[in-house]
């Protein structure tokens, strides 16, 4: 059975293959960009089990190594934005473009979140060891949860609505609270992805980052396009 080029590129089979290719390749680039972070996490996990590192030191090492996460994640989201819009793009070129174009702001945002997470985590490890301060453990957990919710929105927002850092924080916090149901759904997806990686690391490792990026961008698309329409009005 013969198909024209147009029939082939617009067919369901081609789209399925293209989307799988996109998910796999973006996940691969994301993992490569975070190799140092992965190595540090593995080292820290081993060192903690052998009591070679204290928890604050381990958290500091991971926070420093995770500076690569921001640009790598934003680049992945940059690709997913174009794919969701129905564009058939060169995945490699789009990933590198997104990485370069948003590198500076994503590193700044990543660094700020790391500092806040670091301060929260270190203080949490301190208060849970002191009985008289144990009542502060819950507030620190709430702060950590809010930072996690903030991170869900702030990185895609860099792509959809690049603006000053303070505005990114305000808008992200607004949606994290205002759209709590959507926030909880995205958090649930991340937890499920983590469990899948733990259960089937070989099968899911090269798909999970791309799938998560696609789901996050689908969830945020209508919100941030609404912002852009009002900004241009």
Domain ranges of the chain: 5-232
What's the average model confidence in pLDDT over 56-60?
83
Task: Give the separation between CA 97 and CA 101, rounded to whole angstroms.
Answer: 6
Reported as a single tens digit per residue, the pLDDT across 177-195 is: 888 888 888 888 888 887 8
- At residue 134, the pLDDT reads 78
- At residue 232, the pLDDT reads 41
Reported as a single tens digit per residue, the pLDDT across 98-150 is: 999 999 999 999 999 999 988 888 888 888 888 777 788 888 888 888 898 89
What's the average model confidence in pLDDT over 53-57?
81
Task: Give the separation between CA 227 and CA 165, rounded to whole angstroms.
Answer: 16
DSSP state of 136: G
* DSSP codes, 18-30: HHHHHHHHHHHHH
Whether 25 and 63 have beta carbons less than 8 Å apart is answered as no
Write 47-56 long-range contacts (CB < 8 A, 24+): 55/125, 56/122, 56/125
Longest dimension (CA), the chain: 76
Task: Give the separation between CA 41 and CA 59, rounded to whole angstroms.
Answer: 10
The pair of structure tokens assigned to 69 is 């996460």
Cα torsion 79, 25, 155, 121 to 10°: value is: 180
Does the pTM surpass 0.75? The reply is yes
Q: What does the H/E/C string look like for 156-182? A: HHHHHCCCCHHHHHHHHHHHHHHCHHH
For 162, how many CA atoms within 13 A lie in the half-sphere containing its CB? 11
Task: Give the separation between CA 193 and CA 54, rounded to whole angstroms.
Answer: 28
What's the average model confidence in pLDDT over 94-100?
95
């Amino acid at each position: 059975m013969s198909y024209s080029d147009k029939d082939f590129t617009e067919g369901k089979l081609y789209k399925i293959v293209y989307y799988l290719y996109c998910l796999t390749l973006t996940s691969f680039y994301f993992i490569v960009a975070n190799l140092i972070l992965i190595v540090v996490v593995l080292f820290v996990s081993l060192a903690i089990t052998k009591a070679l590192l204290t928890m604050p030191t381990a958290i500091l090492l991971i926070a420093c190594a995770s500076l690569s996460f921001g640009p790598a994640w934003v680049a992945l989201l940059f690709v997913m934005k174009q794919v969701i819009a129905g564009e058939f793009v060169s995945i490699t070129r789009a990933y590198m473009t997104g990485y370069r174009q948003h590198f500076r702001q994503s590193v700044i945002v990543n660094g700020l979140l790391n500092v806040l997470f670091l301060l929260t985590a270190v203080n949490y490890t301190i208060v849970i060891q002191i009985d008289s301060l144990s009542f502060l453990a819950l507030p620190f957990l709430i702060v950590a949860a809010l930072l996690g919710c903030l991170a869900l929105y702030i990185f895609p927002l860099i792509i959809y609505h690049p603006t000053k850092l303070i505005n990114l924080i305000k808008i992200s916090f607004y949606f994290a609270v205002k759209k709590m149901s959507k926030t909880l759904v995205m958090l649930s997806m991340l937890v499920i992805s983590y469990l899948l990686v733990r259960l089937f690391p070989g099968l899911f490792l090269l798909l999970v980052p791309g799938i998560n990026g696609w789901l996050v961008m689908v969830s945020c698309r209508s919100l941030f396009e609404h912002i852009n329409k009002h900004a241009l009005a």
